[in-house]
Structure 1
Amino acid sequence: MRIGLLGTGPWAERVHAPVLAEHPSFEFAGVWGRRPEAAEALGAAHGVPGYADLDRLLAEVDAVSIALPPAVQADLAVRAAGAGCHLLLDKPVALTVPDARRVLEASLAHRVASVVFFTVRFGGEQLPWIEKQAATGGWFTGRSDWLGSVFAPDSTSPYAASPWRREKGALWDVGPHALSVLLPVLGDATLVTAVAGPLDTVHLVLRHAGGASSTLALSLTAPVAAGGTGMELRGESGVVHLPERGEGPIAALHRALDALHDSARSGTPHPCDAAFGLRVVEILAAAERSLATGTPTEV
């Protein structure tokens, strides 16, 4: 299966391109970016051409791996689906519910597979843990802390120059990671209450369809010494914690591409497809409304 890369930024350069060049089920066919010279440079580093014409690349591949800001991703995903390309999407799928819905509708209309790359959802230890806890059931409550330091004063993160992260903050950047784990275990969210914390920090309380509740603490501006992630579930089986991530995103992206390949071949939707991506965006948008109004918001 031939695959093209859309994007030339740090995420594309550090994660997507190396994985596409190595993955045994895909042939890395080329790179397109909003800056043609950057596409040529990244492509040359992996022995593939850079494309100035996106439609030409889409016509020559079976799938695309998108590593672009969410405000850009939606239009390009719809365009790629229209060209018959299967979609490896980044999170969040879009920054508005209508845009996320357009991505889903395009994937369904053109019968292409879609997988949203939530890094934790494809983790080597995290994936079986999530499946086990979902099968166990009987959970009473969950707690998730995603405290990043991307914008802390002494941060050295390569993503500190990201305009969309500065504009939308932790809710839209790390919020999808927390939701990608909580929703398959505790069930869909029906009500969200959001409260602003220091700087971009946001605290969420969710009510889940199965009766459980969860709390989330999200930040990209936590002090470096205070940063970190963790998740805890409490229920009839006791207390369990999400395993710490011992591997980077490279291995997780390999698994996400495996999932896209399998879904494309079988025609069976993956649990992390564009429909799930839309649901995550709907919950984030409801949290934004809750922040603005100061009241709980139905999802």
Structure 2
Amino acid sequence: MSMRFGLLGTGPWARQTHGPALAAHPGVELVGVWGRRPEAAAALAGELGARPYGDAEALIADVDAVAVALPPHLQAPLAVTAARAGKHLLLDKPLATTVADARAVADAVEEAGVRSVVFFTLRFGEGSAGWIERQAAAGGWYTGRADWYSAVFSADDSPFADSPWRREKGGLWDVGPHALSVLLPVLGDVTSVRAAQGPGDTVHLTLRHASGASSTSVLTLTAPPAAAGVAIELRGTQGVVGYPEDIAGEATDALAHAVTALTSGTPHTCDARFGLRVTEILVEAAAQLS
């Protein structure tokens, strides 16, 4: 039996990833689309064979689960509303940009007894998720780094360059969750946070982990296009292990795995409580930036 989904959001991420993955998933019936711009909701719903909704709560009432592709300050209150209505949640990163908002989502999920999955792309890509699991199982890591040099604001063709929340929050909040989604399952929870401002929106993040290991991350959306890329490396008793970028796969495939995780009924470690923890770390880092 298919799970009835509603899609909240009509921006580039909804059009390129959430919408196509939901519409193609064999375990999903995509019922409707809501967005802040009715004309965009109508256009996307038409492309996906779904119904446009003019009211988010009306769509929530008609489905079993919602997928959210909205800025974090909009995602959090709608997620609370959906959870309290008994709907399962497929959420995006970051869960929220304040601890209070993130905790409200996590608490609402637990109180309602619904399932939640937060879509951290590398944790659901078939190749990348397997790589992370193998490094976590290996253990013995001394230090690690997870650097995200993105050119969202410096390249000419990024569909996300006009995103107001990314302009305001920068790389710490947009690509920082990706780095943490790799480092935490491998090195353990964070016990100490240090952050320093670099050029543009660049943030240099240094973490101490419960395992005793340390890690660093460089996070930016303003890297020169020629310098853009992701670099993940671990050092320890296993030697030096780098992340092979050719295993990342397509975001739509990863989203499909996230949908399967939500519909399967088996709890996933990337749930709202994990999303809360990521928000707590980012808030602590942001407080140290001048």
* TM > 0.5 fold call: yes
Which of 3, 7, 10 does residue 8 from structure 1 map onto?
10
Partner of 2:278: 280
> Secondary structure, in 3 states, of the residue corresponding to 1:290?
coil
Give the letter aligned to residue 289 of structure 1. A
SS of the equivalent of 2:287 reads: helix
Deviation at 1:48, TM superposition (A): 1.0
Q: Which of 13, 37, 43 is the equivalent residue of 2:45?
A: 43
Query: Would you say the 8 A contact 1:21–1:28 is kept in 2?
Result: yes
CA–CA distance in structure 2, aligned partners of residues 82 and 34 of structure 1: 22
- How many residues get paired? 287
CA distance in 1 between partners of 2:203 and 2:136 (Å): 26
1:31-56, CA deviations, whole angstroms, 9 ceiling, x for partnerless residues?
01112221111101111110012222
Are the equivalent residues in 2 in contact too, given 1:146–1:229 (CA < 8 A)?
A: yes
Structure 1 window deviating more from structure 2 (215-224 vs 28-37): it is 28-37
Could you say which residue in structure 2 is the equivalent of 1:257? 259
Given that 1:190 and 1:206 are in contact with CA atoms closer than 8 Å, whether structure 2 keeps it comes out as yes
Partner of 1:79: 81
Q: Aligned partner of 1:145: which letter?
A: D
1:45-72 Cα deviation digits (max 9, x unpaired):
1111100122221111000000000011
Task: Say yes or no: does 1:186 pair with 2:187.
Answer: yes
Task: Give runs of aligned pairs for residues 1-299 of structure 1, distance below 5 A.
Answer: 1-152=3-154, 154-244=155-245, 245-262=247-264, 265-266=265-266, 269-292=267-290
Q: SS where residue 113 of structure 2 aligns? A: coil
Task: Return the offset for 1:122.
Answer: 1.1
CA-to-aligned-CA distance 1:155-202 (integer Å, 9 cap, x gap): 310000000001000000000000000000000001111011000000
Distance in 2, matches of 1:254 and 1:139, equals 31
1:246 positional shift: 4.4
Displacement of 1:241: 1.1
Structure 1, unpaired ranges of 5+: 293-299
What amino acid maps onto 2:139 in structure 1? G
Q: Which runs of 4+ in 1 moved over 3 A?
A: none
Q: Is the 8 A contact 1:155 1:224 kept in 2?
A: no
Q: Which residue is 1:297 aligned to?
A: none
TM-score, normalisation: structure 1? 0.94
**8 Å Cα contact 2:128/2:248 also seen in 1:** no
Matched residues in 1 for 2:44 and 2:288: separation?
Answer: 41
Post-superposition shift, 1:243? 2.2
Unaligned stretches of 5+ in structure 2? Answer: none
Percent identity reads 62
> 2: CA distance between counterparts of 1:248 and 1:223?
23
Please tell me the root mean square deviation across aligned C-alpha atoms, in Å.
1.0
Q: Secondary structure at the match of 2:178?
A: helix
**1:92 and 1:176 in contact (8 A); partners too:** yes
Give distance in 2, aligned partners of 1:181 and 1:133: 10
